[in-house]
Structure 1
Amino acid sequence: MSTEILAIANNFSISTGHITFTLSIIGNFLNIFVFTQLKCFRNNQCAFYLTVESLFSFLYGLIVFTITILTSIYGDDATGRSLIWCRFRFFSAQLLVLSSSYTVAFAAIDQFFSTHNRFSFRQVFTIKTARCLVGTSVCIWIIHSIIFCLFYNIQSLLLCNISNPTYLQYTTYFSFPLLAGLIPVFIASFFGFLAFRNVRRIVRRQLTIVRRRLDRQMTAMAAIRVIILVCLSLPYLSYRIYTTNVPNLPSKPMEYARGRLIYVILFFLFNLNYTISFYIYVIFSSRFRRQVKSILLKKYWQLWKCCCCAIKNNRIGPENPESFNTNMDPNEND
């Protein structure tokens, strides 16, 4: 029975890896495309954060897909077969998770200040500040992830684990559950709630209708992204914290198989956090839906049709035989 459950867990992990990759590539590409092509988003800090977050999620989707392919080939993620891949896998995964999570938190903070009643608060975050903040945070997470991956080594039974006991304690009790989990979730939730409260009073401010609508849209989209982060991250984080205190050991096959199945399901939900933001924006934001429709259907679809028509019209057709015969010299057949 335990073997069957483990087989189900393995098949579920492989199939959901393909689903995650497909949704991530399409959704995050469209997010980046729309945010960079529309003029109203180009100098907006929140749109910049969501664009950068979509880029990190796009790269994370590639990592998940690579792991899925290796698992289907070798029966595991192949981290125990190559030290370079062992370290790079955990380096890239932690870097992208940290960068993505804190970028969402920055977007929530930005919307709180951008929608505040006080003018001085609204001047705290600019597009230049946003770029500096994201650049600084990425540099910090790169250094942290490099140090993190150097402690990984291949140990017995093809396992890629942290070999240093002190750093293992740091990762188990602080780095993953707090630094990469609860801290960005709490920051994003707290400032997302404050930003939502601010935007309800935005009508009282002396703003143009266009700016007011954009602020409301970006606050709503940032709030949706925060809700996704909280709902899809907390179950996985909670289970990881639980298994840290109550380890799931292979010596008990049935419990281990059930725990493995629960883990792959929660890990799939955790990966959806970096996959479905575009689809959620389209569902819950009518303005974003119109913007996507405008740029994809009205602009680029028409441009593509014009290009196809131009190519079709410029094709050189075969010569007309009848015309060719009428233009022949009548004395040529003599």
Structure 2
Amino acid sequence: MSIVEATAQLSVWGPITLFFIGFISNFSNMIIFVGVKTFRQSPSTFYIMGQSITNLGALIMILLQSIPSTSGSASSVSCKLIMYFSQVTAPAAMSFLWLSAFDRWACTSRSTRIRKLSSNHIASRLFLFPFVFWSLICIPYFLFCDLVPPTFNCIYTNEIFAQVSLYFLDPLVAAIFPLIILIIFGILTYQNIFGVTRVHQDLVRTRLSITRLSTWEQQMTKMMISQTLLTILCTLPRAIFFIYIMAIINEIAMKSVDELEIIYFMNQFTAFIFGINFALSFYIFLLFSPRFRQTIKTHLKCQFHLTNNQVAP
């Protein structure tokens, strides 16, 4: 199989695979974290719900772009809508992951003042912020993207915004900056958990009122750290690719056909790896949290009345 064929196959089957895997994952997250009372007591639930919603939106945009009749090249309206919502959903999903990482850092901090930042009240106030913020920031994509002759590809119609998007919004906001934020809060949370001997006692004494809730907060922290590690691994190739493109942007016109084919393939491949961020959160929670698996099993038994019946003598 040639590189061109591999790129074509990946551009078609990659989005379809991510969508079906991600739909089950994110829909399951929304059902479990809303349906189980214990999860609703954690501030991270707000961020997981927001992330699941935006993940589904991002996966839908990825899928639509792979279908010729609904892709950005189908019409001027579809071009504007696809570009706009693609730029809104993906950064919003990453923003909810930042908030989850920040919440876990605050939750595990020794400082009482910092731990107060991890609360349902604050999480509920911040829930709408990523939606509103990115909806406003990405308005130029709706205004300055259109089908441009003679090729009628969906590209930028404003040269200044094209430069801003190419050198700032796409590489920094979409990949490099989220990667730095997640690494920083991941390291800080790890230090809070494993570098301080009295973290658990401080959490139980000053923040949590019952032992069961304390246990769930610990499980939520493990789940969020696991998801953060996955996101770092999936975002790193995309960030490296963006840095490479920025370095050779003025030399692309001089590249040979074979070199351009490799660049296009790496673009599709790193985009697919980055798309895993939006599809696997539920499976990561299942893999790294035994209590999460047990809670789902108990919830399903209650929903479908599968509890064991015992006959007394």
- TM-score, length basis structure 2: 0.88
Contact 2:33–2:45 (Cα < 8 Å) also in 1: yes
Alignment partner, residue 279 of structure 2? 275
CA contact (8 A) 2:147 2:153 kept: yes
Structure 2's unaligned 5+ residue stretches are 307-313
Q: Which stretches in structure 1 are left out of the alignment for 5+ residues?
A: 304-334
Question: What letter matches 2:239 in structure 1?
Answer: L
Give distance in 2, aligned partners of 1:92 and 1:226.
24
Distance of 2:127 and 2:89 partners within structure 1: 13
Q: Percent identity?
A: 24
TM-score by length of 1: 0.82
Structure 2 residue matching 1:160: 3-state secondary structure: strand
CA 5–144 in structure 1, closer or farther in 2 if over 3 Å, else same: same
- Aligned position for 1:18: 16
Instruction: State how 1:94-243 maps to structure 2 within 5 Å.
Output: 94-156=87-149, 157-200=151-194, 201-205=198-202, 206=205, 207=208, 208-243=210-245
CA offsets, 1:45-69, max 9 Å, x none? Answer: 1121112101111121122222223
Aligned-pair CA distance for 1:251: 6.7
Residues paired across the two proteins, number: 296
Aligned partner (choices 295, 299, 313) of residue 299 of structure 2: 295
Alignment partner of 2:263 out of 259, 274, 299:
259
Query: Aligned equivalents of 1:222 and 1:237: distance in 2?
Result: 21
Amino acid at match of 1:287: R
| Larger deviation, residues 132-141 vs 282-291 | 132-141
1:98 alignment partner, SS class? helix
Which residue identity is paired with 2:73?
A: G
Deviations 1:27-56 (A, max 9, x none): 111111111111011131112111210111
DSSP-derived class of the 1:69 partner? coil
Task: Pick the structure with greater CA Rg.
Answer: 1
Residue 52 of structure 1, aligned match among 50, 53, 68: 50
CA separation of 1:204/1:150 partners in 2, compared to 1, >3 Å: closer, same or farther?
Answer: same
Does the 8 Å contact 1:115/1:215 carry over to 2?
no
Between the aligned partners of 1:233 and 1:16, the Cα distance in structure 2 is 16
Match of 1:81 in 2: 74
Secondary structure at the residue paired with 1:161? strand
Conservation of the 8 A alpha-carbon contact between 1:28 and 1:57: yes
